[in-house]
Amino acid sequence: MSKTYSISELASEFDVTTRSIRFYEDQELLHPTRRGQTRIYSSKDRVRLKLTLRGKRLGFSLAEIRELFELWDETRSGSEKQLHLMLSKISERKAALEQQMKDITMVQLELESAEIRCRQALEELNEKHPATAK
Amino acid sequence: MSKTYSISELASEFDVTTRSIRFYEDQELLHPTRRGQTRIYSSKDRVRLKLTLRGKRLGFSLAEIRELFELWDETRSGSEKQLHLMLSKISERKAALEQQMKDITMVQLELESAEIRCRQALEELNEKHPATAK
DNA sequence: TCTAAGCTTTACGTTAACGTAAACTTGTTT
DNA sequence: AAACAAGTTTACGTTAACGTAAAGCTTAGA
């Protein structure tokens, strides 16, 4: 009897619209059960929603996210072939994430130096213009 | 007389289509000059293209990237107000990037443990099935 | 002179990821 | 009974970021 959630509970917890959540179901990322016609979300669904949103923030498409979910499900009782496929997908993703880490680091460095140049420009303004006090 | 580039040179160097490069110009991310009707790209344009692609990999929209370029250009001879605006945009971006770093780290951990579980499953298969040699 | 490569503009098509609106059911509160 | 809140389905609309022709210039080479 683990916990369940309504669609609006999940929507407000993760700050997405119910429209999005239904859309994710349509794309087979979530598989809520029903009571009557009302959707009931398990904690597994909740985890999947969380993972979905995280994946999105990382630039994965919904299709890619779905592919990962499916692979993982198939893998859970998988043949050797499935397991190897999963391992190769995993290392694909790992490589992509490492590239992203590098990109982020580069941009962070650029932002740092941009910030420094901004502050210097401000100081120069204040020397010519020591007026605007405090 | 610094170096210049043709559209297809840049396209093949960065592995994008010429269509995309022209589209970026349309969105005012690039500003090549012309010889006759042919576009000539400066090394500044090349840098901007590189930054654009990096920004895209990080999930920025073209509009956001353009906004950053414009802010930076305005800032280069900017008023105090411009400089402060730029600083606040910079810290916005820094915060977003930190969140992304966290996301990546989380996903990397999940991939790690998924990989481990895969390898264990493979070992178990090999114990029941020590056949497929080498 | 013809052709081929590489460039150009113009413009309609496409995909992903929802937004938005309309009309309906179901349960519960006044 | 009436009205409300929260859920549902159906379906058309929207935006971003290009893809994909189609048709025309321009210049080096056979």
Structure tokens at B73: 């250009």
Nearest-nucleotide field for A8 (CA, C1'): D6
Residue B15 has a CB neighbour count (10 Å cut-off) of: 7
Smallest Cα distance from B80 to chain A, Å: 7
In the predicted structure, residue B72 carries a pLDDT above the cut 90: no
Which position has the token pair 């397991």?
A83
Confidence band, pLDDT 50/70/90 cuts, at residue A1: low
The C-alpha atoms of residue A62 and residue A84 are separated, in whole angstroms, by 23
pLDDT in the model for residue B134: 35
Angle between helix A43-57 and A7-14 (nearest 10): 40
The C-alpha atoms of residue B3 and residue A8 are separated, in whole angstroms, by 57
3-state SS record for A22-86:
HHHHHCCCCCCEEECCEEEEEHHHHHHHHHHHHHHHCCCCHHHHHHHHHHHHHHCCCCHHHHHHH
The C-alpha atoms of residue B18 and residue A63 are separated, in whole angstroms, by 27
**Fold assignment, B1-61:** Multidrug-efflux Transporter Regulator; Chain: A; Domain 2 (1.10.1660)
Structure tokens at B28: 């005012």
The C-alpha atoms of residue B22 and residue B41 are separated, in whole angstroms, by 11
Q: For A15-40, write each residue's pLDDT tens digit.
A: 999 999 999 999 999 999 999 899 99
Q: Are strands B38-42 and B4-5 parallel, antiparallel or unpaired?
A: antiparallel
pLDDT in the model for residue B111: 86
pLDDT in the model for residue B1: 62
Question: Distances in Å between the alpha carbon of A39 and those of A4, A10, A27, B93, B97?
Answer: 10, 11, 16, 37, 35
In the predicted structure, residue A111 carries a pLDDT above the cut 90: no
Comparing B12 with A71, the larger pLDDT belongs to: B12
Q: Which residues of chain B are within 8 Å of residue A97 when distances are taken between CB atoms? A: 104, 107-108, 111
Question: What residues have CB less than 8 Å from A93, skipping those under 6 apart?
Answer: A68, B107, B111
Percentage of chain A surpassing pLDDT 90? Answer: 42
**Binding-face residues of A in 80-99 toward B, CB within 8 A:** 80, 83-84, 86-87, 90-91, 93-94, 97, 99
Smallest Cα distance from B48 to chain A, Å: 13
Q: Which residues of chain B are within 8 Å of residue A78 when distances are taken between CB atoms? A: 121
The C-alpha atoms of residue A129 and residue A122 are separated, in whole angstroms, by 10
The C-alpha atoms of residue B32 and residue B42 are separated, in whole angstroms, by 7
